Amino acid sequence: MIAAAFRGRQGSFALDATFEAPGSGVTALFGPSGCGKTTVLRCIAGLARLPEGRLTVNGETWQEGRHFVPPHRRAVGYVFQEASLFPHLSVRSNLTFGLRRAKGDRRIREEEVVALLGIAPLFERPTTMLSGGERQRVAIGRALLSQPQLLLMDEPLSALDRFSKDDILPYLERLHAALSIPVLYVSHDIAEVERLADTLVLMEAGRVRAAGPIAAMVSDPALPLIHMPQPAAVIDGHVVSTDARYGLSEVAVAGGRLIVPGDLGPPGARQRLRIPANDVSLGRNPPQDTTILNALPARIVGVEPAAGHQMTVRLALGPDGTGAALLARISRLSWDRLALEPGQIVVARLKAVALAEPPAVADAGGLRQP
């Protein structure tokens, strides 16, 4: 468990941020530019010290009153927007530098990090001959090999172009699945956060507006996320079966089963599904003669007005309407024509189910501690 509370000023900026994050998994700090996300990470790393601060990380107190553990004594891995690799060293030597900084037990093993991030083919290259995405993978590897208790990532993808982002995201997803240490991940890209995070800390103007499990936060009508132009539901599930002939997998989620493109791994493998509200339509009856693969019963929980005479309908999957939260963006006209109202059981039709598909690299499951 990470418990943080930082209060004070940096120049004209006032920070008053208090939150708790689980001791494992990815916690995203999300909010508009200038709301204080980087400042919070710097306080956690000990690079900034506000007059009032309290920080405990998995039972160790790093800051309280006058007690302040200096940055070099905090077991923190820090990955920045632009990878700051040593230009005169090869990839291998950059990684070894991380290992040399390691204190205490070497819980995170080099072979595992290399496999997880797909770095082996890059070993002998000078870092000046890497793409942006490759540089970030090496920077993440180096940070992990310093054996941190906590990994801090500050917009690690924001300096990358779309292609490099798409290249590196699956590696981050694998990292997430294999890593036992907690990750604090700063981003202002909600789609990225929805793919990676378990917990969301929503910041606004130096304060924490709300914090909690991401699936609940993205569909909470009291929070701004559902009111954004392209809201999406986040649903975690596990693979039930795969069908090689059709290139599909069946994923069980609370309240139903979804058919998803691709081979998503063996039965039992966990999968995160991100379902944009614009890809969900509603009907009163099961569809007939349609190419849509996923049509599931769901209960209308509530409805929020959206721009352009549209509505965002909040749903709970399952014939009894108690399953995972789903969102549908429909026109006001459709809502009236179908005479929809909260409490009704409807059929949600999912046009596409985007999800986090892990890359085909060697297994690095050993990273997870027992």
Question: Residue 222 gets which letter from DSSP?
Answer: T
Cβ of residue 187: shortest distance to ligand ATP, in angstroms? Answer: 8
Cβ of residue 10: shortest distance to ligand ATP, in angstroms? Answer: 4
Please answer whether residues 14 and 6 qualify as being in contact, where contact means their C-beta atoms are separated by less than 8 angstroms.
no
Which ranges of 223-306 would DSSP assign to H, the alpha helix? Answer: none
**Comparison of 35 and 152: residue with beta carbon closer to ligand ATP:** 35
262: left (phi over 0), alpha (psi -120 to 50) or beta: left
By DSSP bridging, strand 325-331 and strand 354-355 are: unpaired
Residues in contact with ligand ATP by CB under 6 A are 10-11, 13, 31, 33-39, 188
**Comparison of 14 and 89: residue with beta carbon closer to ligand ATP:** 14
Please answer whether residues 264 and 251 qualify as being in contact, where contact means their C-beta atoms are separated by less than 8 angstroms.
yes
φ, ψ (nearest 5 deg) of residue 252: -90, 130
Cβ of residue 13: shortest distance to ligand ATP, in angstroms? Answer: 3
Which residue has 């004209």 as its token pair?
A: 12
Question: Residue 319 gets which letter from DSSP?
Answer: T
Beta partners for residue 153, in sequence order: 79, 185
Cβ of residue 188: shortest distance to ligand ATP, in angstroms? Answer: 5
**Comparison of 38 and 312: residue with beta carbon closer to ligand ATP:** 38
Cβ of residue 11: shortest distance to ligand ATP, in angstroms? Answer: 3
Which SS3 state, helix, strand or coil, does residue 157 take?
Answer: coil
**Comparison of 34 and 221: residue with beta carbon closer to ligand ATP:** 34
**Comparison of 41 and 315: residue with beta carbon closer to ligand ATP:** 41
Cβ of residue 23: shortest distance to ligand ATP, in angstroms? Answer: 24
**Comparison of 50 and 172: residue with beta carbon closer to ligand ATP:** 50
Structure tokens, 68: 């302040």
